[in-house]
Chain A
Amino acid sequence: MNEITNLSGPIIGHIPFIDIVLYISPFSLALVAVIAAFTAFLALSKPELRSVTRFGEDVVRTTTVERKEARFRRFMTILCGIALTGVVTTGDLFNFALFVSLTGITNMGIFAGVKDAHVLDATFHYGLVLMICSLPLFGGVAMILANTGTLSMGVLANIHTNPILNMSRTLLLIGAIGEGALAPFFATKVEMIRAKGAPYINMMHLSSLMVFTRVIEVLLILG
Chain B
Amino acid sequence: MIGRILNSLAEPRVVPKIFAFAIAIVLVFSLPLPFHLNPEQVYPKPAPQLQMELAKKNIDISYNLAPYNRGGLPVDPDNRGIVKSQYKSPYEGWITAYLTPFSQWMRDVSYHLGTTIVAHPGGILDEILYYTRGLDTILESSILFTAFTIASWVILNRTRKMTGE
Contacts and interface: CB of A to CB of B under 8 A. Distances in A.
Interface of A: 17-21, 72, 76, 79, 86, 92, 94-95, 98-99, 101-102, 105-106, 108-109, 112-113, 115, 120-122, 125-126, 128-129, 132-133, 135-136, 143, 146-152, 163-164, 167, 170-171, 174, 178, 184-185, 187-188, 191
A108 B150 contact: yes
Given A163-B33, A164-B35, A187-B9, A149 B23 contact: no
A105 B143 contact: yes
A174 B26 contact: yes
A149 B87 CA distance: 13
A187 B10 CA distance: 5
A124 to B, nearest CB: 8
Contacts of B33: 163-164, 167
Residue from B9, B19, B33 having most chain A Cβ neighbours under 10 A:
B19
Contacts of B143: 98, 101-102, 105
Interface stretch (B74-82, B95-103, B112-120, B131-139): B131-139
A120 B153 CA distance: 13
Interface stretch (B37-45, B46-54, B55-63, B64-72): B37-45
A211 B29 CA distance: 26
B132 A133 contact: no
B146 interface: yes
B3 interface: no
B139 A21 contact: no
Contact of A164 (B34, B39, B87): B34
A140 B1 CA distance: 37
B142 interface: yes
A128 B11 CA distance: 14
Contact of B132 (A19, A102, A178): A19
Interface residues of B, number: 46
B98 to A, nearest CB: 19
B31 to A, nearest CB: 10
A132 B19 contact: yes
Given A129-B19, A152-B86, A167-B30, A98 B37 contact: no
B147 interface: yes
A133 B150 contact: no
Contacts of B163: none
A18 B146 contact: no
B4 interface: no
A178 B19 contact: yes
A147 B38 contact: yes
A207 to B, nearest CB: 14
B20 interface: yes
B164 interface: no
B23 A18 contact: no
Given A95-B136, A132-B23, 4 more contacts: A19-B136, A98-B139, A133-B23, A148-B38
A100 B21 CA distance: 22
B160 to A, nearest CB: 10
Interface string B123-165: 0000000011111100110110011011001100100000000
A2 B129 CA distance: 29
B38 A106 contact: no
Contacts of B36: 147, 164
